[in-house]
Amino acid sequence: MRRTHAAQSLIITAQLDPSLKTSALKWRDFPDEPYFGPLRPQLPSGFRAFLNFQKPPVMALNPLTALSPLDGRYSRQCDPLRGIFSEYAFMNARVRVEVEWLIALSEAGFAELPHLSDHGKAFLRGLAEHFSLDDCAAVKEIEKTTNHDVKAVEYWIKGQVAHDEELKNAAEFVHFACTSEDINNTSHALMLMKGRDALVAFLEKIHGIIANYAHQWAEIPMLSRTHGQTASPTTVGKEFANVAVRLARVIEAIKSVKILAKMNGAVGNYNAHLIAYPDFDWEAFSKKVVEERLGAVFNTHTIQIEPHDYMAELFQEIERANTILIDFDRDVWGYISMHFFRQKLKEGEVGSSTMPHKVNPIDFENSEGNLGLANAVLGHLAGKLPISRWQRDLTDSTVLRNLGVAFGYSFVGYSALERGLGKLQVNEAQIAADLDAAWEVLAEAVQTVMRRYGVPHPYEQLKALTRGKDGINQETIRSFIAGLDIPADAKARLMALTPATYIGKAVELARRC
């Protein structure tokens, strides 16, 4: 009767106030359908829609039903990252940290925790080395009760050692004196070391392709454009070399970032450690675990969390690498539109659903778009993670679950760029024609030589000859040179000059990348 009266009250209220929002209602306020059915026509349309609402069926997760394109359309490109940044990988890293901490404690000389045998150590390390999807599922099952993932890992490990005569006596030293963040931050460090290695390897592969093109096309002269206007010539290879050198520099910066970690308790002061064993050098012990067993650099001064400054540094360097490649994507896109490059055709591919002639630069567009997404996530990670209220808040925890997203979009961008580079064919005829139509670019050369020999107003003379003028050609330039009062050898050098030969040391620079 209570539910019936509540429903009647809601109907009356809705009739008196049609603006009442259905979002304020709860299913428990409605009686069963047999009673409510006859009253349905009296309800405003919004209430009827509310009653008719049914949850859509849950679809099984696979690449076709995945919410994120990283696990759907681009799942293949992200395959190398699943064993590094997935929930499974995170759990696996936590298990490794927990068992290494326990093994280290057993070697510290505490009377209550005897030194573990080789069998005991091998068993514990095997938990991490052979951690399976079923093991991870078991941890997640425990988490349904604990509502705490790190505690679930601790309980799972205790469950694994419960039947081993040696290890069951050490069970309460699992997670000893640790806060969850001692386990999480070290796990993130392990994940980022692997993730960085994978990302650097991919960037070095891209760098190698670009550098190879720089050498291959070092001698092909090409007209430059500054502000979109014709400028001093360069070579195709030199422009690729510029990118290769920039990329090499940022790769070294990414590799040089020190990945930090801490294991110093709830607020970074070893409170629990020292109350249990006041005469033990916990700082030195923790440093040894972090650096020698886990391979990170120990951070001595932290709050509950490792402050994530190194993460910001790492993500900003990766963002810089991606920005360099976005710049490159756009330049190559432009050169393709100018027909400086052709793209190799693949039988069966379509460029447009309506224009059969199209061969679009889709790989460079895909790369640009996904690297932009990667940078958006990397930028948020870098800007947010170093900020935590007082000794810690939990905002970093949910954000850190997106490390794989930032790396994933980067990988999709790199994959598309690699694919696009593999299709490039230089169109020397078009590049040469473009150069031959731009004799005005030799004005710089002529006025500079005139300056050397003291000819009055050289810049102004060439400005009057060329600026804003159409039809500047070989005859225009050579007629002007012929009238100059400069040494014969200098005049001969200028007379022999063409846009294709006015390239400075571009060839040498291209080959030095």
Cα atoms found within 13 Å of the Cα of residue 150, Cβ hemisphere only: 17
Q: Please, are residues 243 and 224 in contact by the beta-carbon 8 Å criterion?
A: no
What is the DSSP code (8-state) at residue 61? Answer: P
Beta strand 221-226 with 229-235 is antiparallel
How large is the C-alpha radius of gyration of the chain? 34
Q: Which helix (H) or strand (E) holds 323?
A: helix 309-337
110 burial class (0-12, 13-18, 19+ CB within 10 angstroms)?
A: middle
Q: 406, exposed or middle or buried, with CB in 10 Å at 0-12, 13-18, 19+?
A: buried
Query: Any idea what DSSP says for residue 108?
Result: T
Report the distance separating Cα 305 and Cα 459, nearest Å. Answer: 62
Active-site hit among 227, 301, 353, 357: 227
Of 325, 302, 310, residue with least CA distance to 251: 325
* Cβ count within 10 A of residue 200: 17
Q: In this structure, what are the phi and psi dihedrals at residue 174, rounded to the nearest 5 degrees?
A: -65, 130
The amino acid occupying position 491 is K
Residue 484 CA to residue 462 CA, distance in Å, equals 12
18 contact partners, CB below 8 Å, separation of at least 6? 44
Strands 341-343 and 297-298: unpaired
Q: Which residues contact 293 (CB under 8 A, 6 or more apart)?
A: 100, 104
Q: Report the C-alpha gap between 226 and 461 in whole angstroms.
A: 22
Helices (H) and strands (E) counted in the chain, each on its own, are: 22, 6
Choice among 9, 117, 337, 352 that is catalytic: 352
Longest Cα separation, the chain? 113
Alpha-carbon distance of 173 to 198, in angstroms, equals: 34
Residue 171 DSSP code? G
Instruction: Reply yes or no on whether 397 is catalytic.
Output: no
The total of other beta-carbon atoms located within 10 Å of residue 512's CB is 14
The pair of structure tokens assigned to 177 is: 């004196």
Neighbours of 82 (CB within 10 A): 16
* Alpha-helical segments (H) within 162-308: 180-216, 236-256, 271-276, 282-288
Q: Is 352 a catalytic residue?
A: yes
What count of residues does the chain have?
Answer: 513
The catalytic residues are 227, 352
